[in-house]
Structures are given as C-alpha cells and as structure tokens.
Chains A and B, each alone.
Chain A
Amino acid sequence: MRNQIIAKAVAVAMTALVPGIAFAGGPVDDELVIDGEIQMITRAAPPEGHPLDEVLSGWLYRTDETRMLETDTFENPGMLEVQDGADLWNTVDGTAGKSCASCHGDAEESMAGVGARFPKWDEASNRPINVELQINKCRTEEMGAEAYKFDAREQKALTAYVKHQSLGTPVAIDLAEGHMQSWWDRGNELYYTRTGQLNLSCASCHEQNNGNYIRADHLSQGNVNGFPTYRLKQASLVSLHNRFRGCIRDTRAEFPAAFSDELMALEVYVTWRGTGLSVETPAVRQ
C-alpha cells in the first residue's frame, strides 16, 4: 500500500505539466547486463578536461520498461535492423562484384571494437570520418557502388551492424591523430553556443540540466555511445546526425546538413564526452 502511494506520487510529479523544470529525478542506480552475460559500463570516470564528475549513459535516465528492452538482444526491437545490416554485409553490390565480407570477412571478428574508435582521422579527405562515411568510402572506392544517401535504410542498418560488433567495448577515440584536436576544439565551441529562437546550447539541457525534466522528458547527458539508437517515438533506428538535427531544430534554429563540418566536429566532441562508456548500439531510448 505504502509503495503504491509512493509510486502514485512519483507518477504525479512526472506528468505535471509545469512550464519549467521539475527538480526531481536523476539517473537510476541500476546495472546494464545484456543477455545475462555482457556487463556494460554505464558509469565511467571522465577523461581529463571533462566538465562533469561522472560520465553516464542515457540508459540510466530511462524508465524501467525502456531499460528492460535493451537488456535482451532478442527483445530489443533495434536488432531487427541490425539483422538487416548483417544481410547487407554479405550482399554483393557495385561493379567490382564485392560485398563488405569480400574484404572484411566475418564482421564478428574483423569489426570487433572498431565502432568504439570512430570518428577517426581520414588523411585522404583531411577531415574526421565516421562509420556512415567510412561505409560510403568503401562502397564508392572499393565496391564500385553508389554511396548511400543520408539515413537510407541500408546506411542505418549497416552502421548499426558494424557498431553492434563493439557491444560492451568502451568508447575511446584518438584525438592525437591528424587534426582531430582542432575538430574537437570546434565541436567544443559549438556545444556551448546558444542557437535558435529558444537560445539554447547543447550544454543548456545536457550539461546544466541533465537529470531534470523538460516537460515530461528526463534529460540525459546526451552521450552518443548507443547510436544508431532505437527510439520508441520513431519505432526505428535513428542515426546520430538525425538526432543532432532534431535537437537543433527543437531550439528553433536552422540545422546544418548531415556530415557537414559543423556536425562532424560535434560528433568528435560529443563522442569524446562519452569516453569510457560501453558501445550500446542499438540502444533503446524513448
């Protein structure tokens, strides 16, 4: 009975439509173990120069039911698209008659841990490269196939499949490569720059207000270790640059193109902010 009353009180607090931030909530004290065997790191010590005391996965900010969906790779609906990615990995495409597997073999071996180290420095294009762009580079340069368009079904599925091979591996990008540091600097600046009619920066919500509610939405630190992420709202995988654009749109600003210099710099910086967290792809979020 007492538990019911407490639960009711929590429910009322969470759904109260107050115009402002309800000072309740915060991350839960829970452990993420996938399929009863993969121990995931959802709390990590921050890298040097990080503004927060502890790096937390967005998983800790979700409800019991949403968190549960990620604990079982069968029940996780994002795995349907990962399976689609596995099929694409083995499908020959382009004039060279190759599939991903022709060069890289079994992704479970060749791609293990790889997703945790992206974005990386790409000498040829003299800018950072993420998994989506690396796949397109392979397609155009090695396979004689067309690059996938931004957010094409195949791009999201194959990116998720590649990143899923790093499930549990801590995010660790190398800022010493090429000019990664200057892209980090630019991403850092963008993170704190207020934009749009609402005059909000990334930091307004995800640094200064994580753990608080924006209406009924529980704000996380905005870490990106679970992308592409299965969002219940879209009922499909959502790419990182799609989410970046969504957040910027919600500040009522013009949003940059996917894979533009601005969003690549932001990807470098925000990925670094999640250093040490396990790759969760495909994470499940609201």
Chain B
Amino acid sequence: MDNIKPRVKVPKSASAGEVITIKTLINHPMESGLRKGKDGNLIPRQIINKFTCEFNGKPVFSCELEPAISANPYIEFSAKVTEAGTFKFSWLDDDGSVYETENKIAIK
C-alpha cells in the first residue's frame, strides 16, 4: 500500500542492562475481509499480518496479527539493552509490502 508511515518511540539512550519500553504505531486500515462495501460485496482482506523487532540483527520480539487487530495497529513491548546498537522494525502487509524503520540507541 502507498502512503504508509510507521512511527516508533524508542529512548535515545539507556543504561547497560536496562529494560526499555518501545511503542509502535502504523497507519493501515487493517481491512478485515468481513466488511461489505457500498456495492454490497465483501471488501477483500488486507492487513498487516506480522511485525518484527531485531536489535543488532538478533530477534527481540515479534507478533502475528489477525483481522481482529484495530485499524492503525499499535504495538507496545519491551527490550533489554546490553550494548549500543540499532533496532530494526518491520511490518509485513498481506500484499507483500514490507514497511521498515530503524532507531539507534546509545549506552549512558
């Protein structure tokens, strides 16, 4: 889909060993495939079906999403920071698109 822009909130720095909270939000209709359009026909399903978060190439958290997730999916989770590095976030769309963003974090 076009015009999809993820937003992520990650602290700029953390103490070594600190557990930080990560918030993510992405604009997406999460069309359930169960809803009828104005013409009376079902609108085809199109959702973000997977989200992943890696830190320096290693998996931190991921989730599989179903049509029961609200439009503009919000996902909040935690990560333990042991070294400086880069978080990589990916959202996978039913149409094959992948929306990605990265955030760096420093050690205090």
Interface residues of A (CB under 8 A from B): 74-75, 77, 79-81, 83-84, 235-236
Instruction: Choose from A74, A81, A83 the contact partner of B9 (Cβ within 8 Å).
Output: A74
The CA of A253 and the CA of B33, in the complex, are separated in Å by: 33
Please name all residues of chain B whose beta carbon is closer than 8 Å to the beta carbon of A81 when the two chains form the complex.
27
Known contacts A75-B74, A235-B71; A80/B5 CB under 8 A: yes
Residues in B lying within 8 Å of A, measured CB to CB: 3, 5, 7, 9, 23, 25-27, 29, 70-72, 74
* B71: chain A residues within 8 A (beta carbon): 235-236
For the complex formed, measure the closest distance between the CB of A262 and the CB atoms of chain B, giving whole angstroms.
Answer: 27
Asked if A74 and B72 sit within 8 Å, CB to CB, the answer is: no
On chain B, the residues within 8 Å of A77 by CB distance are 25, 72, 74
What A residues does B72 contact at CB under 8 A? Answer: 77, 80, 235
| In the complex with contacts A74-B25, A75-B23, A77-B25, A83-B7 CB distance below 8 A | yes
B70:A83 contact, CB within 8 angstroms = no
Chain B contacts for A236, CB-based, 8 A: 71
Question: Can you name 9 A-B residue pairings with CB atoms under 8 Å?
Answer: A74-B23, A75-B23, A75-B25, A79-B25, A80-B7, A80-B26, A84-B5, A84-B27, A235-B29
Shortest C-beta distance, B93 to chain A (Å), equals 16
Contacts of B25 in A (CB 8 A): 74-75, 77, 79-80
Given contacts A79-B25, A83-B7, A235-B72, 18 further A-B contacts (CB under 8 A): A74-B7, A74-B9, A74-B23, A75-B23, A77-B25, A77-B72, A77-B74, A80-B5, A80-B7, A80-B25, A80-B26, A80-B27, A80-B72, A81-B27, A84-B5, A84-B27, A235-B70, A236-B71
Residues of A within 8 A of B9 (CB): 74
* Distance between Cα atoms of A77 and B26 in the complex (Å): 9
Determine the distance from Cα of A83 to Cα of B7 in the docked complex, in whole angstroms.
10
Shortest Cβ distance from B97 into chain A, in angstroms?
Answer: 17
Which B residues touch A83, using CB under 8 A?
A: 5, 7
Residues of B within 8 A of A84 (CB): 3, 5, 27
In the complex, what residues of A have CB within 8 A of residue B7's CB?
Answer: 74, 79-80, 83
B6 to chain A, nearest CB (A): 9
Expressed in whole angstroms, the Cα–Cα distance for A35 and B55 within the complex equals 27
Query: Which single residue of chain A is at the shortest CB-CB distance from B27?
Result: A80
* B6 nearest in chain A by CB position: A80
| Interfacial chain B residues near A75, Cβ < 8 Å | 23, 25, 74
How far does the alpha carbon of A79 sit from the alpha carbon of B72 in the complex, in Å? Answer: 11
CB distance from A102 to the nearest CB of B (A): 23
CA distance A79 to B7 in the complex (A): 10
Q: Most chain-B Cβ atoms within 10 A of its Cβ — which of A80, A83, A236?
A: A80
Chain B residues in 8 Å Cβ range of A235: 29, 70-72
Chain A positions within 8 Å of B29 at CB level: 235
Bound CA span A102–B29, Å: 32
**Could you tell me the distance in whole angstroms from the C-beta of B72 to the nearest C-beta in chain A?**
5
Nearest residue (CB) in A for B76 is A75
CB distance from B68 to the nearest CB of A (A): 13
A80: chain B residues at CB < 8 Å are 5, 7, 25-27, 72
Q: Which residues of A contact B74 (CB under 8 A)?
A: 75, 77
Write the chain B residue with the least CB distance to A76.
Answer: B25
* Complex contacts, B27 vs chain A, CB 8 Å: 80-81, 84
Docked complex Cα distance between A90 and B74 (Å): 27
Interfacial chain A residues near B23, Cβ < 8 Å = 74-75
How near does chain B come to A152, taking the closest CB pair, in angstroms?
13
Q: In whole Å, how far is A235's beta carbon from the nearest beta carbon of chain B?
A: 4
Tell me, in angstroms, the Cα distance from A75 to B23 when the chains sit together: 8
